[in-house]
Amino acid sequence: MQKIFDEVNSLDKRCYEEFFLNEDILMEHAASSICSYIEDIFEENKSVLIVCGSGNNGADGLALARLLYKKFDVSLYLASAPKSPMAKLQYKRVKTLNIKEVDEPFEADILVDCLFGTGLNKPLDEKYLTLIDTLNSYNSFNIACDIPSGINHFGQISSSTFEADVTITMGALKTSLFSDFSKDYVGEIIVSNLGVQREIYETQTNKFLLDESDMKLPFRNKKNSHKGSYGHLNVVAGCKKGAGIIAAKAAFGFGAGLVSVVCHENLDLPYHIMQTHFISENCTAIAIGMGLGKYETDEIRKILNKKVAKIVDADLFYDDLICEVLDQEIVLTPHPKEFVSLLKLCEIADISVQELQNNRFLYVEKFCKKYPNVVLLLKGANVIIAQNEKIYVNSFGSAVLSKGGSGDVLSGLIGSLLAQGYKPLEAAISASLAHAMGARNYKKNNYSLIPSDLVEEIRKL
């Protein structure tokens, strides 16, 4: 996993004070990293348009123009005159080389956005909205310097935003790159070296980006074992029984030795899935909430208070019954609307879904501070998994998963790992990664996934 930071100004300052690297040196490395990327990917003499703002993001672009000059056909478009000391200095250097400046942007082979970066702190005015829309209309290869212009340091987007094919971010990963809104604009994310390796530049943080290597699949290394060695998951089925059945199938395919669906009505289940009318005596984990609908409160309360690992989803986030079990080590998997309801029930915040999406990390932190034992998995374009003070981001998700039943598969995967003895946080992380990787491996049209396809892809991991 990789570290994520809310801000990097303090990390830059540390470079100045501890390593005697000044701002000019860091900027030279920032520009050099973009230069190296362009040199590696593109043939010489390709046209490059660098669009610069007045601050240090623009200064990065001016330094880049100097580094690319003569090897590529470089043009500079200054959206506003250099204002920061570094921008003025870099512009003075550029002027000595007579690098071409243009009065209007144009469609180049390579387009580099150096307008604002993380310095954006207010809504864009009409001039910049029009400029960004114009840049997005070109058929260029788009590179964003640090962060696409239009995304602020909270990861919020108020209007037009530069659509990058790749974002080369400086020094370390930023939280703003992983808001749900950012997902459509950042493209591939590459971290630039600013004069020292990331291990030196970075300090302590509570946020981490998950890598594929963080997925721990439930491979069976013990030869002397039986079905009971791998746990018994009980999946509680409610009004929408299909949700529970999907979760049960996913759980069985992800390694649980036994899976039973708990339902008072007789169900048509695959032969390898059992049915019971009550929680099994030997169950090692419970999955509950998916398609639950209307239910008998006392019965659900009794299930929730069983002293076994649990994953809770969906309908229970609208009932204050959930508040009675938040002292337990359980996994909660709400989508944004459900999390908004949960925040209100827990008297943490009464907000809209839009307000949550604008500040996902903030409200996850608020919830986990109040309920440090709970593992929270907030669904979204970038899944956030958190417990206590630690936050993990799974950025591998895709629109392939935007289908009914995908969440039920995830519940089954988490429940399966819990039944097999995974700790709640480990189960949430590995199941979420498997869920996303299974969808990524799906080869048919991205609109056509059904739950059984997803389960099958996960079985191949």
| Binding-site annotation, residues for AMP | 407
DSSP state letter for 26: H
The set of residues, in sequence order, having a beta carbon less than 8 Å from that of 85 and lying 6+ positions away, is: none
Q: Say how far apart CA 425 and CA 377 lie, in whole Å.
A: 9
Binding residues: 56-60, 113, 117-123, 128, 146, 149, 243, 291, 335, 407-408
Q: Say how far apart CA 444 and CA 238 lie, in whole Å.
A: 32
Q: Say how far apart CA 182 and CA 409 lie, in whole Å.
A: 26
DSSP secondary structure string, 310-367? EEE-GGGGGSGGGGGGTTS--EE---HHHHHHHHHHTTS----HHHHHHTHHHHHHHH
Q: Say how far apart CA 170 and CA 193 lie, in whole Å.
A: 7
Contact in structure between 280 and 263 (CB atoms under 8 Å): no
Which position has the token pair 């009932």? 319
Binding residues for (6S)-NADPHX: 56-60, 117-123, 128, 146, 243, 291, 335, 408
Q: CA angle, 183 as apex, 181 and 188 as ends, to 5°?
A: 150
Identify which of 380, 375, 381, 388 has the alpha carbon closest to the alpha carbon of residue 429: 375
The set of residues, in sequence order, having a beta carbon less than 8 Å from that of 300 and lying 6+ positions away, is: 236, 288, 292, 316, 321
Taking only Cα atoms into account, the Rg of the chain, rounded to an integer number of angstroms, comes to: 25
